[in-house]
Structure 1
Amino acid sequence: MSNPSERCYRTEQLIMNLRESSIREAVLIELNNFIIEQSTEAMRMDLGFHLWNSELTLTILLQEVVAVYPKLLDPTLTMTECTRLCNALNVIQCMASHPDARIGLLKANIPYFLNPFLRISENVMRPLRFVTLSILNLISALAKFDESYGQEILLLLLDTQVVPLCMHCILHGDQLIRKVATLILMKILMQEKGLKYCCALPARFLLVIQVLHQLVDTFTSEIPCSQQLKYVVQCCLSLSRVAWVGGVYDTVRTNFPKQLIDNTFGIITRDDPEIPNMLHQLVLNLTRQPPQ
């Protein structure tokens, strides 16, 4: 469906049908398929803009999220119910493809509606892994800091406790969940204000390093792809840059995952020539003599 007028008509039709609770589950499936059909970023942004500006759409989608709350700790939550929730989350993620919607979603405190799904224990997270993954993908879509609203988005995200929640997911999620949670953490640590937030308290700084260390330890049994390894290396590289400024050199050296620089992952790093360069800089940062 490449004709703009046809896409517009289809969008309006789906938005109207979403208001009918009796057919909403089927409409969410249809709407997700329609989102997949948008083959370019411009088309997805246009659809996201229309969804964001349509009356009641976000309210309806949040109703789908809240409806699952009573079953968060209930083993009777079905795959059908999880799929329906994921479909609703994917529509919100489509909204987030437009910059005006991104800042709007954060100002509307949307992450707070999603946080309960990220706080759950490991045994509950397993059956809800697809929901957790959808939420993390949505947060990653919101975490775009290289635009006009970028720094405001960063501060709003930090207020939602995104950092400790991502670390919880890294510790207790499966490999895919850990990968997306690490991506979000990396995006934050690459921003000056995000790095300052993570280093503001010694306990917080130490926890971030320890979580990354535990993540690297899991790579001995679950070999990461080069992309996932790159996320971890970039996180560590960002943290290593503040070792001197914050006077936490010994903390960084003691808790740093040594496997990253002892060639444990040499075969993987060859898949991406940028990783060895990052690791070389990391070694330089960690082996400099402390200033006298």
Structure 2
Amino acid sequence: MSNLPQSLSMSAAFGGPGPGPGPSIPSASGAPPNKERKMASSEQLVLDLSNPDLRENALLELSKKRELFQDLAPLLWNSFGTIAALLQEIVSIYPVLSPPNLTPAQSNRVCNALALLQCVASHSDTRMLFLNAHIPLYLYPFLNTTSKSRPFEYLRLTSLGVIGALVKVDDTEVISFLLSTEIIPLCLRTMEMGSELSKTVATFIVQKILLDDVGLDYICTTAERFFAVGRVLGNMVAALSEQPSSRLLKHIIRCYLRLSDNPKACDALRSCLPDMLRDATFNGCLRDDATTRRWLQQLLHNVGMSRVPALQAGAGFDHMMVN
């Protein structure tokens, strides 16, 4: 994407009706009048974020139409006071997290702010600026909640969407930052108690962390970390045997397969991989998913048929757990 122009104007249209029949007549700046109006409208909405009286409507309009902006993220990041206004929205609801008193209206409003932060996290020009400012840490109190009410679930899911946008682009620097925080235990908590959708996004985040060599090494460095992840994955497999979800199962199997790339983890999986992944429990669930069936086949091959040299005393997870 192109860099933000000095005028902070957008290079993509902002909704609204298209130009009428026939060619548009350029203005003095060279842009069609309709496009100029749309760019001015987008800039005005961003400016409105800094006005408490106008912020709620601006949050709603920008989050609803953010896909229509090509360079909304640089505009949000570089315009004066905008990120501070979004963080103010987030911090303002901390007091209602515990005890849980979050209303649907409060949840919707802060989720609109989170949607704009996800836009910033997704953009190549602002992603690292977003990380360097440690903005993901402001979302962690939302991931630490346990209420299963819809306002809280919506809040967790939208917060996970921001983290998911960060890991979607394979970047070791992003993974290293997240591993320096408590993102793994927070994701594991959601994988245990969230809705199917939030479980899926949290598992996707763990999967993307594992797919990076730094992430895999981190999880497999200690027995405690490996078995914490393995226990949650195992519990999820057991739950899926009663309420199947092919989408969630796909991410779980990919996590197991990636863990099997580590020799110590592969050795441990021989004894702790759920039996339901070894038998025909999920045959129906995976009938139309050739990719996941292939992953599962490779996982079982790695765990049951590959020859891994015997680990020396002190090198394996079993020894570490005994100690």
Same fold, TM-score > 0.5, yes or no: yes
Aligned to 1:252: 269
Which structure has the larger Rg over C-alpha atoms? 2
Q: 1:18 and 2:49 equivalent?
A: yes
Q: 1:222 and 2:239 equivalent?
A: no
- 1:59 aligned to 75, 79, 84, which one? 84
Aligned to 1:291: 309
Q: Partners of 1:6 and 1:151 in 2: how far apart?
A: 40
| Identity value in percent | 38
Q: Partners of 1:161 and 1:235 in 2: how far apart?
A: 19
Do the aligned partners of 1:48 and 1:98 also contact (CA within 8 Å) in 2?
A: yes
> Could you list the per-position Cα deviations for residues 74-116 of structure 1 after superposition, in whole angstroms to 9, with x for gaps in the alignment?
3432100010010110011111221121111111111111111
Q: SS where residue 145 of structure 2 aligns? A: coil
Q: Partners of 1:237 and 1:6 in 2: how far apart?
A: 52
Give the gaps of 5 or more residues in structure 1: none
Q: SS where residue 165 of structure 2 aligns? A: helix
Aligned to 2:259: 239
Q: Partners of 2:47 and 2:206 in 1: how far apart?
A: 37
Aligned to 1:174: 195
**Superposition map of 1:1-292 within 5 A:** 1=15, 5-36=36-67, 38=68, 43-44=69-70, 46-121=71-146, 123=147, 127-146=151-170, 150-224=171-245, 226-242=246-262, 244=263, 246=264, 248-287=265-304, 288-292=306-310
Q: SS where residue 96 of structure 1 aligns? A: helix
- Residue 145 of structure 1: CA displacement? 4.0
Q: Partners of 2:39 and 2:167 in 1: how far apart?
A: 28
Q: Partners of 1:93 and 1:7 in 2: how far apart?
A: 22
> Could you list the per-position Cα deviations for residues 199-256 of structure 1 after superposition, in whole angstroms to 9, with x for gaps in the alignment?
11111011111110011111123220x33221111100001111x2x3x555322221
Do the aligned partners of 1:17 and 1:23 also contact (CA within 8 Å) in 2?
A: yes
Q: Partners of 1:282 and 1:75 in 2: how far apart?
A: 41
- The number of residues matched between the two structures is 278
Give the gaps of 5 or more residues in structure 2: 1-14, 19-33, 311-323
| RMSD after superposition | 1.8
Q: Partners of 2:181 and 2:235 in 1: how far apart?
A: 24
Q: Partners of 1:110 and 1:154 in 2: how far apart?
A: 15
